[in-house]
Amino acid sequence: MLMGGDPFAQKEMCEKLGILENLKKYNGVMLGFSAGAMLMSKNIIITPCSEEYPDFHIEPGMNLSEISIYPHNNFGGNEYPEKVCAGDETYDRNDLIKVAQEYGEFYLLQDHLNETGLTNVSLIRTCGLEIEFITQNDGKIFKATSNGIELLTDNKKYTR
């Protein structure tokens, strides 16, 4: 179980402990939350969003499923806004598209606390080439591509 925090610090710690290669070869269930999901990704993606992260910072993750995850897209609605504010971080739509143009498409997961007090949770499950999108309440999953950001409207299984 890989938890949250700074994904780059988490990767560096795993490298220093000499466990990163063992994690890549692990043949069991692995869960990644927030930074942990980013570490499991093809690429760890940070766009300029705060004082802590003023610049683009993108580097290879463990690439366990050949997809990249960008969590914490905390907003309601079916259209990705120009800017998303999540606490002290602000994500710019055009920055996400710029990353997709250079590094390939990636998935934006929503975990938004809605007006009814429920959290809209979005998850991705992968196994081999199969991807399953799982949402709770009114959770959403978007895909950033070189052409824009699109809502994935059905929660079915896809094969890459």
Query: Is residue 146 included in any domain, yes or no?
Result: yes
Whether the predicted pLDDT of 65 surpasses 80: yes
Q: Give the residue-averaged pLDDT of 73-91.
A: 89
Query: Is residue 31 included in any domain, yes or no?
Result: yes
pTM for this structure?
A: 0.89
Domain count, the chain: 1
Query: Is residue 22 included in any domain, yes or no?
Result: yes
Q: What is the pLDDT of residue 76?
A: 83
- Phi, psi at 89, each rounded to 5°: -115, 140
Q: What is the pLDDT of residue 158?
A: 58
Query: Is residue 29 included in any domain, yes or no?
Result: yes
pLDDT digits (tens, 9 = 90+) for 12-37: 999 999 999 999 999 888 888 899 99
Query: Is residue 83 included in any domain, yes or no?
Result: yes
Q: What is the pLDDT of residue 139?
A: 85
Query: Is residue 2 included in any domain, yes or no?
Result: no
Residues 160 and 154: their CA atoms lie apart, in Å, by: 16
Query: Is residue 1 included in any domain, yes or no?
Result: no
pLDDT digits (tens, 9 = 90+) for 91-139: 999 999 999 999 999 999 988 778 888 888 888 888 777 888 888 888 8
Q: Give the residue-averaged pLDDT of 139-151.
A: 94
Residues 157 and 134: their CA atoms lie apart, in Å, by: 9
Whether the predicted pLDDT of 62 surpasses 90: yes
Averaged confidence pLDDT in the chain: 89
Whether the predicted pLDDT of 154 surpasses 80: no
Domain with 95 in it: 7-159
Q: What is the pLDDT of residue 53?
A: 92
Q: What is the pLDDT of residue 115?
A: 84
Q: If you search the block for the tokens 């991807």, which residue do you land on?
A: 131
Query: Is residue 86 included in any domain, yes or no?
Result: yes
